[in-house]
Amino acid sequence: MCGIIGYLGKNEKKEILLDGLQELEYRGYDSAGIAIIENKKLKNFKAVGRLKNLREKTKDYLSEGFGVSIGHTRWATHGKPTELNAHPHMGAYSFVVHNGIIENYQELKKELQAQGVNFLSQTDTETIVHLFEKNHDMSNNTWQAFQTTLSKLEGAYATLLITEADEESIYFAKNGSPMLIGFDGEDIYFASSDTPIIGKATEVYYLEDGEFGYAKDGKIYLFDANGEKAFSTQALATDKAMAQKDGYRFFMEKEIYEQGQVMNDTMMGRVLDDKIDLEELDLNLFENITNIKICACGTSYHSALSASYLFERISKIPCQIEIASEFRYKEPLLREDTLFITISQSGETADTLEALKMAKRAGLKSLSICNVDNSSIVRESDASILTRAGIEKGVASTKAFATQTMVLWMLAIYVAQAKKTISSELLEQELQAMRETPKALIVNDKLHAKMTRLSKRYLHGHGFFFIGRDIFYPLALEGALKLKEISYLHAEGYPSGEMKHGPIALADAELFTIALMPKSLHYEKIKSNVEELCARDVTLLAISPEPFELADDYVQTTYNSHPMLEFFEMMVITQLLALEISVRLGNDVDMPRNLAKSVTVE
């Protein structure tokens, strides 16, 4: 998730921008840049990698006097993390930074290229600055040109634009991506979140979607679809650590709440009206492929396991799943008609990386699903799809799992489209369910309060069993993993139909069973499995749209005709349960003992 900073005023601008970008590092980035206009002088610096590279490049530069300035940390989505793709993007006399995705950029780019515009980068963002300059060349009016530009953009954005055609203003717009404006007398700041301006600004205004305008002479001129509007500021927080968590107690909690929003990013430009479009893939990748092998560790392995059901059911392609650390030493028989998919949040997991290298040595084509562009796994793969979850700080993975699962679901449909194994009716149903997913991920206060209340009953006992069938079995595994990682209580995920083949011997009142009982998939089957456990007196927490009278505790979910919507809703519930149990036990939620965020050792 990119970060944006902007400053209009008399103070030295380079340090304000670089310090601000430093505070946005937590959002994740792979390149950074700044642009400053003052005294008719325009300066622009960009660097790939850490901010220290940008600091090094700018060390001999200091801005002087009044000016306007913008900066950006980029998390690559369209195009590799190179200097040319880093923001600010440049036209002939203007610069722009942008967070979000312009969905119709290809259309706009084609139109501009047809008019002779030369593009330097592969990004969607560059279209904004060229479009602005085209409009300005026609109207000779910067404000009008900016408004016309916005009217052409589809998708999500927070954007800042500065131009030599109006050296005293910063133009801004927000639609779907975060941006706020900070005030300190006549100095004006823009940022993606509070932290970069804490200690600098004293008052803040959080822009709403659909708002846009410009900053000039120490004032903000704010507009929405109805015209110019009044706004009032509020006092800015003073605690930076708290501000990074956006008011949540833990990063993990923030990341659970963020899932609805990041899912929009994951789907943007990919879930179209009538198909799935994965522009990063070339259909050649699937040529002569007759089966799929997916290899991953931990949570990423669980998303792989749920995808195996989707690949076989929807894409009609055989799909095997491998735990990377096992795969490496089993002397696997690898065939060149297998597409080798790796899944990794960090892109650096040693076992997964080594498994990928083995598959490549055996001549297999490879595809990675990853959250970090330019990571080792992405670089090693023939193709990759980024999950666009933004940086995940909580060691226990939440939004990374959600977005991996969504990418795999999209991929299953994409393969089905290519193989023509999906009817147009089914395709329409799948696309519709995908569009509804962000809603299924919304955490409402009542639900969270209920999980907090319930958690006090689940702090002891001799173990937890999370059970489910079909895609809800991997979700049960993931629910159990979340709980053990941050509560240190023993938990297992199990296929509910397997309980009678052994684990049922453990059943007694001290065995906590969390049953995932979706209505849209095998409800009667799982119900019988759960009844068998209730007859042995387990303590049961049922998660289902359907009330279940044998349950000791019951969390009601929404009746949904699509299993994936039930999947995502239940996923949030299990995440909240783990979180609240961990909080009650007084554990370190974000940094649980013995665990690391990136496991680069075997």
Q: Three-state DSSP class for 507?
A: coil
d(CA 475, CA 574): 9
C-beta of 25: minimal distance to ligand F6R in Å?
A: 19
| Only segment of 163-171, 258-266, 291-299, 360-368 that touches ligand F6R (CB under 6 A) | 291-299
Query: At how many degrees (to 10) do helices 399-419 and 563-584 cross?
Result: 160
Q: Which is nearer to ligand F6R, 99 or 345 (CB)?
A: 345
422 neighbors 311 (Cβ within 8 angstroms): no
- Number of Cβ within 10 Å of residue 541's Cβ equals 22
Binding flag, residue 384, ligand F6R (CB under 6 A) = no
d(CA 571, CA 308): 18
Binding flag, residue 397, ligand F6R (CB under 6 A) = yes
Q: 342 φ, ψ to 5°?
A: -110, 150
Instruction: Give the HSE-up count for residue 444: Cα atoms under 13 Å, Cβ half-sphere.
Output: 8
Residue among 300, 306, 387, 513 that touches ligand F6R (CB under 6 A): 300
**Residue 513: partners with Cβ closer than 8 Å, 6 or more residues away:** 464, 465, 466, 467, 530, 533, 538, 539, 540, 541
Catalytic residue among 80, 360, 519, 597: 597
Residue among 17, 297, 530, 570 that touches ligand F6R (CB under 6 A): 297
Binding flag, residue 255, ligand F6R (CB under 6 A) = no
State the DSSP code for 311: I
321 neighbors 304 (Cβ within 8 angstroms): yes
- Tokens, residue 308: 């195996």
C-beta of 378: minimal distance to ligand F6R in Å?
A: 12
Q: Which is nearer to ligand F6R, 187 or 322 (CB)?
A: 322
Residue 224 CB-density burial (10 A; 0-12 exposed, 13-18 middle, 19+ buried)? middle
Active site annotation includes 2: yes
**Residue 429: partners with Cβ closer than 8 Å, 6 or more residues away:** 562
d(CA 159, CA 209): 12
- Number of Cβ within 10 Å of residue 313's Cβ equals 14
**Binding residues among 538-577 for ligand F6R as defined by CB under 6 A:** none
Q: Which is nearer to ligand F6R, 207 or 396 (CB)?
A: 396
Binding flag, residue 487, ligand F6R (CB under 6 A) = no
Q: Which is nearer to ligand F6R, 28 or 298 (CB)?
A: 298
| Only segment of 89-97, 271-279, 346-354, 447-455 that touches ligand F6R (CB under 6 A) | 346-354
**Binding residues among 100-139 for ligand F6R as defined by CB under 6 A:** none
Q: Which is nearer to ligand F6R, 3 or 298 (CB)?
A: 298
Residue nearest to ligand F6R (CB): 298
Residue among 346, 376, 455, 539 that touches ligand F6R (CB under 6 A): 346
d(CA 349, CA 60): 39
> Under rule CB under 6 A, how many of the chain's residues touch ligand F6R?
14
Q: What angle do CA 316, 321, 324 make, to 5 degrees?
A: 150
Binding flag, residue 599, ligand F6R (CB under 6 A) = yes
C-beta of 299: minimal distance to ligand F6R in Å?
A: 3
Residue with tokens 């958690």: 455
Q: Which is nearer to ligand F6R, 289 or 481 (CB)?
A: 481
Torsion of CA 102, 104, 107, 108, to 10 degrees: -40
Binding flag, residue 306, ligand F6R (CB under 6 A) = no
| Only segment of 41-49, 64-72, 341-349, 421-429 that touches ligand F6R (CB under 6 A) | 341-349
349 neighbors 376 (Cβ within 8 angstroms): no
Residue among 85, 121, 195, 345 that touches ligand F6R (CB under 6 A): 345
C-beta of 588: minimal distance to ligand F6R in Å?
A: 14
- β-partners of residue 554 are 542
Residue among 1, 391, 396, 576 that touches ligand F6R (CB under 6 A): 396
| Only segment of 158-166, 343-351, 469-477, 540-548 that touches ligand F6R (CB under 6 A) | 343-351
Q: Which is nearer to ligand F6R, 82 or 374 (CB)?
A: 374
Q: Pairing between strand 338-344 and 365-370? A: parallel
C-beta of 367: minimal distance to ligand F6R in Å?
A: 15
Q: Which is nearer to ligand F6R, 195 or 376 (CB)?
A: 376
**Residue 284: partners with Cβ closer than 8 Å, 6 or more residues away:** none
d(CA 528, CA 221): 63
d(CA 430, CA 436): 10
Q: 510 φ, ψ to 5°?
A: -90, 5
Q: Which is nearer to ligand F6R, 500 or 593 (CB)?
A: 593
Active site annotation includes 500: no
Q: Three-state DSSP class for 475?
A: helix
Catalytic residue among 2, 295, 319, 370: 2
Binding flag, residue 403, ligand F6R (CB under 6 A) = no
Binding characters for ligand F6R, 418-457, by CB under 6 A (x = yes): ----------------------------------------
C-beta of 404: minimal distance to ligand F6R in Å?
A: 8
Instruction: Give the HSE-up count for residue 372: Cα atoms under 13 Å, Cβ half-sphere.
Output: 19
- β-partners of residue 97 are 160
Q: Three-state DSSP class for 524?
A: helix
Residue among 94, 177, 261, 344 that touches ligand F6R (CB under 6 A): 344
Binding flag, residue 381, ligand F6R (CB under 6 A) = no
Q: Three-state DSSP class for 535?
A: coil
Binding flag, residue 325, ligand F6R (CB under 6 A) = no
Binding characters for ligand F6R, 464-483, by CB under 6 A (x = yes): -----------------x--
Q: Which is nearer to ligand F6R, 121 or 376 (CB)?
A: 376
C-beta of 215: minimal distance to ligand F6R in Å?
A: 40
CA nearest to 286, candidates 426, 374, 417: 417
Q: Which is nearer to ligand F6R, 151 or 329 (CB)?
A: 329
List strands edge to edge, sheet with 3-9: 41-48, 31-38, 67-74, 3-9, 187-191, 180-184, 203-206, 234-235
C-beta of 580: minimal distance to ligand F6R in Å?
A: 17
| Only segment of 148-156, 229-237, 271-279, 294-302 that touches ligand F6R (CB under 6 A) | 294-302
- β-partners of residue 162 are 95
Per the document, the length of the chain is 602
Catalytic positions are 2, 597
Residues contributing to the site for ligand F6R (CB under 6 A): 297-300, 344-346, 349, 352, 396-397, 481, 485, 599
